[in-house]
Each structure stands twice: as C-alpha cells, then as structure tokens.
C-alpha cells in the first residue's frame, strides 16, 4: 500500500483508531463523559476526512476495497447517522447502573463494520465488515441486561448466525462457479448463467434479505426492535440496514444482476410481499416500536422498487429514499429515546397520549417524522417516494408502482393512530401512566432531534441539495 491508499481509506482508518483508543482509555479510566467525547470526536473527524479521501477517488485499494464517490457518500450518510445515535445514547445510558463505556465502543465498531461494507469490492472484506457489524449488534441489543433485551439479543445471535451460514454457502458456490471472490473479476468471468452461479446468487440474496428484514426473512424484526434499547433500535433500522443495502446495490450492479430474469422475478415478489405484509401487520400493533418494525419492512419493500429500476435513475432514487428514510426513522426513534429509560422504553401508544399538551415541540417533531415516513408533502419522505415512483414508472414496473401506492395509503392509518394519541386529552384526565422527559438527556438529544427536524423539512422543500450530490456518485 502507498501513502495515497491510506489517505483514501482515512474514514476507515480513523474509525478503527478511535475504537482502539476508546478501548484503551476505558481499560485505564472509566469516565463516561470522556468516553462519549472521544467516540463523538472520532466519528466527526472521520466524517470530515471524507472530503480529503474524495480527492483520490475512485481508487482501488488492494483487491478488497474500492474508494469511490458512491462509497464515500454512503460512508458520510452512515457516519452522520452513527453520530446521531451516539448523541442520543449518551443521555439514555446516563442513569444506567454498572459499566456504560463499552456501549460506545460497540457503537464505534458497528459503524466501522458498516462503512467497510459499503466500500467492499471483494467477498472477503464484505464478510469481515458484516461480522464486525453483527457481533457488535449482539452486544448492543442485550446491553441493558433486561429480560426482553437478553431475549432479543439471543434471538438475533441465533438467526444472524444462520443467515451468515447461508451467505457463506452462497459465496462458496459463486467461487466454485467463477474461481474468484473479487466483484470485478467475477463480472469478467461470468460468461453466462449457470446452476452454481444462480444458486449462489439466490443464497446470497437470502442471507442479505435477513439483514434487511425483507419478507419472508422478516420474523425477527418486531421482537428485536421491541427488546433492544431505543438508540440501538435506531441504529439497526438505519445504519445496519443502510450498509447492507449499499453493499447489495454495488454487488448487484457489478454482477449485472438485472439481466437475470429469474432473480428479477424473485425480487419483485419479495418487494410486493414486503410492502403488503409489513403494512398489514403494522395495523394490528399497539406497541410503537413494533409498529415501526413492521413499517421498516414495508419501507425496504419500497426501496426495492428503485433497486429493480434499471439505469442511473434507479440508483439515484434508491440513495435518495435511503436518506429520507434515515431522517424520518432517526427522528422518530430519537423522540422515543428521549422519553425512555434504561429500565423501560416508551414503546406503548399510551406513553404518547397527550404529549402535545406537555411537550409541544416533541409532539410536532414526532408528527413531522411520521408524516415523512407516510410520504406526506413538504417532507423529505414525500420527495423520496416521488422519486421511487418516477424510477418505477420510468422502468415500466407497473405492478410494483400500483402496490407501492396502495400500501402507502394503508400505511397512513397506523401512523395516524400514533398522531391521534399525541393530540388526545392529557393523561391526567384519562388515567394513563406516562414517562417524563429526563432533564439530563434533554439538551443533547433535543439538539439531535431539532437538527433532524430541520433536515426533514429542508430536504422536503429543497431536495436539490441531495440530488446534486447524487449526480456525482452513480455506480
């Protein structure tokens, strides 16, 4: 490797160095504020280093990693979301008894694994990044040592292990068919469809489908979302899924997967099932985190509409919708985090009844984020869905477009259930029991939610800011 290669890999190098520094500092000095400061500083520096790394893009750094504008843009999105989760988790864990410092270390490692994923151009680097992410999530989900958290962590451990085995089997079949694990070389060696190649494709998509919680690999999602701490749920819903989707888009494009008719049909069926089942099951829930879990299944189904759209419009629409989804989900879980405690998250609809009369700014932010997820105008979610529809119509995916429109209307109902609770009579009049907002976590978490709220409205009115960046990052 040359000096230029290290500069191109600066975000990964800085995140790795920060993780080691935090681990060493924690071993000698357990100060929660210091650990939080170091973790936040490391992620901010890594985010700032992207501008320097971009001056050397595109660059292939060994056969394992490629530094290009697509990967750097996704790295910036993932790091920004990671910073938001770190800031939200600081107040959430402030009253937690016992050791808290390792939580930030695990968040750093999980974010590191995520940015390795979106820069991978080889299955070896992909699997290393995936396991760094997955093993960190096992710990994060069970970290508070509550009954539901431990159960969720164990479920995720078993199911993620099974999905990794499926992925490895798929990778082995593709290696047997093509004799390499480098995406560029695999594309060159793939002279035509073969049984081994298609079987490997199917197994890899199955393993990644679990990570993305696509139907029929979605059953773990509501239990994990409900049992995990609120900031960790936000991380799983955004950074974890965004990294896997970013890798899937690069891999599928590199391998010209759009030309395989059978895979296209399978992914179309998965997209329709995810949109329909995710929205219908969300209608039956009374737990906010479970509602958002099933909603995330539907949103990944929406995302597949752009993913299956051919050409640059599909890639642009995919990334734009990913950004809009990140902002909406992070705002929503940010508010859930602000109202939660380590011993119990504010995950019941009754916890939010009358919130407008006690915390009007939180209720307004919650309403805006739910409107964005539903695709209501003047929010970034509306613009994201518009580009999804445009990409689907441009590629003549009429069935997917029709299902997207119908299921989006269905989804509006369960978002409205939460919104109605926000503006209902105050809990003192109805006898409901609510969780107050902790002053210790209000300032930092409130700052994150306020910033997300501004982005949610700003990008909804002026989406050109993101679109200009997307024009330079097409695969």
**What average pLDDT does the chain have?**
86
Q: What is the mean pLDDT of residues 373-396?
A: 89
pLDDT of residue 11: 92
Percent of the chain with pLDDT over 70: 92
pLDDT of residue 243: 93
Q: Are 184 and 121 contacting, i.e. CB atoms less than 8 angstroms apart?
A: yes
| Per-residue confidence band for 107, with pLDDT thresholds at 50, 70 and 90 | very high
Asked if pLDDT for residue 258 goes beyond 80, the answer is no
Q: Are 41 and 62 contacting, i.e. CB atoms less than 8 angstroms apart?
A: no
Q: What is the mean pLDDT of residues 420-449?
A: 65
| Per-residue confidence band for 245, with pLDDT thresholds at 50, 70 and 90 | very high
pLDDT of residue 430: 47
pLDDT tens digits, one per residue of 42-99? 999 999 999 898 888 788 888 899 888 888 999 999 999 999 999 888 878 877 777 7
Q: Are 107 and 141 contacting, i.e. CB atoms less than 8 angstroms apart?
A: no
- Which residues, at least 6 apart from 387, have a Cβ–Cβ distance to it below 8 Å? 306, 316, 317, 320, 321
User: Which residue from 113, 211, 132, 129 is spatially nearest to 166, judged by alpha carbons?
Assistant: 211
| Per-residue confidence band for 373, with pLDDT thresholds at 50, 70 and 90 | very high
Cα–Cα distance measured from residue 293 to residue 151, given in angstroms and rounded to the nearest whole number: 17
């Amino acid at each position: 490797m040359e000096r230029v290669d290290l500069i191109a890999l600066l975000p990964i190098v800085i995140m790795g160095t920060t993780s080691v520094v935090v681990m060493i500092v924690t071993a000698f000095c357990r100060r929660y504020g210091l650990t939080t400061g170091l973790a936040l500083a490391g992620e901010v520096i890594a985010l700032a280093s992207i501008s320097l790394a971009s001056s050397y893009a595109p660059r292939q750094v060994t056969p394992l990693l490629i530094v290009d504008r697509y990967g750097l843009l996704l790295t910036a999105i993932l790091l920004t979301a990671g910073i938001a989760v770190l800031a939200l988790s600081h107040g959430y864990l402030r009253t937690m008894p016992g050791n808290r410092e390792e939580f930030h270390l695990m968040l750093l490692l999980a974010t590191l694994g995520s940015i390795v994923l979106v820069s991978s151009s080889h299955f070896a680097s992909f699997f290393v990044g995936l396991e760094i992410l997955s093993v960190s999530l096992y710990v994060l989900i069970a970290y508070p040592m509550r009954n539901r958290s431990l159960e969720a962590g164990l479920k995720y451990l078993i199911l993620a292990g099974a999905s990794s085995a499926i992925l490895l089997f798929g990778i082995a079949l593709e290696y047997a068919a093509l004799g390499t694990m480098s995406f560029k070389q695999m594309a060159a060696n793939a002279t035509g469809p073969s049984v081994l190649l298609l079987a490997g494709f199917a197994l890899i998509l199955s393993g990644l489908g679990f990570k993305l919680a696509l139907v029929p690999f979605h059953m773990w999602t509501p239990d994990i979302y409900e049992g995990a701490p609120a900031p960790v749920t936000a991380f799983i819903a955004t950074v974890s899924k965004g990294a896997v989707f970013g890798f899937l888009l690069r891999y599928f494009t590199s391998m010209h997967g759009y030309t395989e008719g059978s895979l296209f049909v399978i992914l179309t069926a998965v997209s329709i099932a995810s949109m329909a089942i995710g929205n219908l099951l969300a209608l039956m829930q009374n737990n906010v985190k479970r509602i958002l879990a099933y909603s995330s299944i539907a949103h990944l189904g929406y995302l597949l509409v752009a993913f299956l759209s051919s050409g640059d419009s599909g890639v642009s629409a995919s990334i734009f919708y990913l950004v809009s989804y990140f902002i909406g989900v992070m705002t929503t879980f940010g508010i859930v985090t602000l109202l939660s405690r380590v011993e119990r998250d504010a995950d019941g609809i009754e916890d939010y009844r009358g919130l407008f009369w006690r915390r009007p700014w939180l209720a307004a932010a919650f309403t805006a984020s739910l409107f964005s997820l539903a695709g209501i105008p003047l929010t970034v979610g509306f613009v994201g869905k518009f580009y999804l529809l445009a990409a689907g119509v441009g590629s003549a995916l009429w069935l997917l477009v029709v299902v997207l429109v119908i299921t989006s209307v269905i989804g509006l109902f369960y978002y409205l259930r939460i919104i109605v609770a926000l503006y209902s009579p105050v809990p003192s009049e109805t006898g409901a029991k609510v969780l107050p907002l902790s002053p210790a976590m209000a300032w930092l978490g409130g700052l994150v939610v306020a910033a997300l709220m501004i982005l949610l409205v700003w990008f909804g009115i002026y989406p050109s800011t993101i679109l200009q960046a997307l024009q330079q990052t097409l695969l």
